Structure 1
Amino acid sequence: MTRVLHTGDTHIGYQQYNSPERRRDFLEGFRNVVDDAVEDDVDAVIHAGDLFHDRRPSLVDLQGTVDVLRTLADADIPFLAVVGNHESKRDAQWLDLFADLGLATRLGADPVVVDDVAVYGLDFVPRSRRDDLEYVFEPVPDAADHATLVSHGLFEPFAHADWDTETVLAESPVDFDAVLLGDNHDPGTAEVLDTWVTYCGSTERASASEREDRGYNLVDFADDGVGISRRGLDSTREFVFVDVELAADEGVDRVRERVRQHDLADAVVIVTVDGEGRPIAPAAIEELAIDRGALVARVNDRRDLPDEDDDVSVSFADPDDAVRERVRELGLSEAALEIDETVRSGDLADANVRESVERRVRDLLEDGESAFEPAPEREPGDEDVTTVADQLAAESDSATDAAADGDGAADPDTTASAADANTDTDVATDADTGAADDAGDEPADADTASLGDFA
């Protein structure tokens, strides 16, 4: 029997909630997995992508990762991995550097044989390039009795799926016994075309929505088939989830009471408020949690509260009109429009603005420089030239008209588009807002459209 440890989505370097301690937690999560692998004397550690949180890990993160990988090398346990969407670069990958150091093997179309298992790899491929992707793998060596594919993406039949697993299995010349996946931070196992398909989940909570315990998979390849079991990580940072349903006559005192019922020492505290109660000041609750020893505290008030005084009506000039006029004069590019929207978005936490803008700029550069070309010059009387300012105005007018004409019923086409958009969200998406991460957050359409590029 051959036993491998299947892990992924370690996201080393992620300074969640802008906390240096949380950044160290993600590296320690990877270290704990490797320590388990050495203690259990597994035959290989297989990493299914997103070893790092982004394409430019710090020197400290790189040094820490090398130190952990040396632990595996000293134990003669191979580290086999693919490249995920968060860390994917246009040219050489960090995984290639670790391979040059003799600390890792990058999986691809040519199999790596571990005992009697042939292990293949498929790096993350953006959806826009999958239609032309050919699933060509070299034959299984005679020395191997089993074959497994390791990949990173949102595969069916799991949540947020945008990759057809049946297509991969049907078009591949190799008959895989199992497909070991990363990208979806929630663990899960399913059977597709007589093949076991499994997600190992993340090793640290990259989002407040990830309430279940973190862990990894142990995969056994035996004569009688494939066995997949899950093992939890007990040493991850504790998250304390305080859910409060406020009655109509309840307010901040009730929330404080609920928070005081928990041991918050060194924990990340997520307070979620629902119900019909009075408005609360999130800062007061967060301060209470910190005073009681919490490392980080966040309050999510999900209620759509009315204004405190509906009788007062104050009208101001629309500042967006002034912005549009200035943008018209500047002739900014499409890239400038997207960056402006990111910076001014009310749905994005302040602590994440810089990272989000940096990532979006890199994504635009990956797609080429056309988005950075200035808008065409336009005189006030021109009607056949559209500037960024006009796009802003059109979007605003469209939203206003829709609100004025609508009667509260959802338009079918609009609803379908929203559903489509939601599937683009990365399950590992923004941790501070509690969105699903990484599931499907395509950081960039890197120039890697074929298996050859990933080999």
Structure 2
Amino acid sequence: MSDTHLGNRQYGSDVRREDFADAFEEAIDYGIEEDVHAVIHTGDLFDTRDPRLPDLNRCIDILQKLVDADIPFYGIVGNHERKMDDQYLDLIGRTGTAERLDRTPRLINDEVAVYGIDAVTKPAWHAKDFTLEEPPADTFTILCMHQLLEPPVPELFAEHPLSDVLDRVNIDLDALALGDYHESVGTVEQGTKVWYAGSTERCAVDETAERCASLLEIDGESLTRRESELDTRSFLQVSIEFAEGDGHAHAEDVLDRHEVAGRVVIVTLTGESSTVTARDVREAVMERDAAVCRVNDERGGPEIDISEGPTGEIESVDRLIEEKLAERNLSDIAVDIEKRVRTEKVAPSGFADEVTEQLTEAQAEAFDGEAAPNTGGDE
């Protein structure tokens, strides 16, 4: 399995946080029911690098089911949860419920050798050492990674070519199990089976395919991958277009045409401005027993003529801010982040992770792919 993103409070909802944990637990239960010999997780176990204690405890409680069934859990660290030093997967490992994969093979039934390489930042990619310890003879080899590779990821979304990995790994790989891409896709390259299991819950409204976990059946040199769909909460997109004079009755009429109960409902408001607010629409959706509702208001407002701005000694606020920032000798990346926060409409749910990734990559680039020196402060 992959990309469980535990702790993801999607759309600011605690219901969604529970949904992500429930999907992870369902996937674990499926492995127990199938009496598997091991469970592997290809990164982004958690949604952030600092998960809440309740999310950590829920994760450990779920993994304890595997311990009770005598099934090992092996994982790697994804880009969402990656820290500069020790990882939360290491902390969980101290409870005896999980083990972090590395370049040394973990043997399953003396027949399968499993390796892991954590998510690699873009600046560190070309200097990354992909050398793996030689596996025992006559074992089926699987490498787990958390990267966007093409194929099977479409070139538009990929970060690196798949051949980069296969050419730089020093052993013959039978399989490459990947994470970070949230759809279940696969291919065969240079005789190596390559696939993404996909995420166990929907992390975005456009992730429309069913969520699943993969059952791997290995017999000698043969691997068969079978997908099992998970019973996750359904999404519904509703569009309400307002004409001049349309009010609450129009919005209610459109909502009455849809079954919203128990669903994550995304409503988009278009057309003319009206007395109906986004809050009104959200309340109407929740009154119909939706689990979660998000409203995107894209209606046009009144036209304002800004061709003639203020005159005299009044200066632009942005210009004043930028002059003050210039006096502080900030780095280019700090200036860029500040400007985006101040001048753009950023999405709170993803912007923090995006900035963290940007800072991590800048650190890696500044220190040639190594961790920044420990100055005694926060990372």
Same topology, TM > 0.5: yes
Shift of 1:149: 1.0
8 Å CA contact 1:186–1:200 kept in 2: the answer is yes
1:185 partner amino acid: H
Cα distance between partner residues in 2 of 1:224 and 1:352? 41
Cα distance between partner residues in 2 of 1:128 and 1:369? 9
Cα distance between partner residues in 2 of 1:257 and 1:191? 50
Closer, same or farther: CA 93–329 of 1 in aligned 2, 3 Å: closer
Please, which of 347, 350, 359 is the counterpart of residue 349 of structure 1? 347
> Counterpart of 1:129 in 2: which secondary structure?
coil
8 Å CA contact 1:185–1:202 kept in 2: the answer is yes
8 Å CA contact 1:80–1:107 kept in 2: the answer is yes
Shift of 1:255: 5.4
* Structure 1 runs of 4+ with >6 Å offset: 247-253
Equivalence for 1:44? 38
8 Å CA contact 1:339–1:360 kept in 2: the answer is no
> Counterpart of 2:344 in 1: which secondary structure?
coil
Closer, same or farther: CA 241–75 of 1 in aligned 2, 3 Å: same
2:164 partner amino acid: T
Cα-to-partner distance string for 1:171-212 (whole Å, 9 max, x where unaligned): 222222211111011111112122211111111111222122
Shift of 1:238: 2.6
1:57 partner amino acid: P
1:101 partner amino acid: T
Closer, same or farther: CA 278–251 of 1 in aligned 2, 3 Å: farther
Closer, same or farther: CA 189–251 of 1 in aligned 2, 3 Å: farther
Closer, same or farther: CA 215–302 of 1 in aligned 2, 3 Å: farther
Going by fraction, where is helix more abundant, 1 or 2? Answer: 1
Closer, same or farther: CA 225–268 of 1 in aligned 2, 3 Å: same
Cα distance between partner residues in 1 of 2:358 and 2:126? 25
When structure 1 is superposed on structure 2, of 253-262 and 107-116 the one drifting more is: 253-262
Aligned 1:209-358 pairs, distance under 5 A: 209-223=206-220, 225-234=222-231, 236-243=232-239, 256-272=252-268, 277-279=271-273, 281-300=277-296, 305=300, 308-309=302-303, 315-316=309-310, 318-329=316-327, 331-334=329-332, 336-349=334-347, 355=352
Does structure 1 residue 23 correspond to structure 2 residue 17? yes
> Counterpart of 2:91 in 1: which secondary structure?
helix
Shift of 1:302: 6.2
Shift of 1:335: 5.3
By relative contact order (CA 8 Å, sep 6+), the higher-ranking structure is: 1
When structure 1 is superposed on structure 2, of 40-49 and 361-370 the one drifting more is: 361-370
2:130 partner amino acid: Y
Cα distance between partner residues in 1 of 2:288 and 2:72? 44
How many aligned positions are there? Answer: 360
8 Å CA contact 2:176–2:195 kept in 1: the answer is yes
> Counterpart of 2:228 in 1: which secondary structure?
strand
Cα distance between partner residues in 2 of 1:84 and 1:356? 12
Shift of 1:326: 3.4
Shift of 1:313: 5.8
2:322 partner amino acid: R
Equivalence for 1:81? 75
Closer, same or farther: CA 227–369 of 1 in aligned 2, 3 Å: closer
> Counterpart of 1:180 in 2: which secondary structure?
strand
Does structure 1 residue 119 correspond to structure 2 residue 114? yes
Does structure 1 residue 91 correspond to structure 2 residue 91? no
2:283 partner amino acid: E
Cα distance between partner residues in 1 of 2:197 and 2:49? 22
Equivalence for 1:415? none
Shift of 1:97: 2.1
Closer, same or farther: CA 356–110 of 1 in aligned 2, 3 Å: closer
Aligned-residue Cα RMSD (Å) equals: 3.1
Please, which of 183, 204, 207 is the counterpart of residue 207 of structure 1? 204
When structure 1 is superposed on structure 2, of 32-41 and 100-109 the one drifting more is: 100-109
8 Å CA contact 2:337–2:355 kept in 1: the answer is no
Does structure 1 residue 174 correspond to structure 2 residue 98? no
**Where do 5+ consecutive residues of structure 1 fail to align?**
1-6, 371-444, 449-455
Equivalence for 1:128? 123
% same residue: 35
8 Å CA contact 2:123–2:361 kept in 1: the answer is no
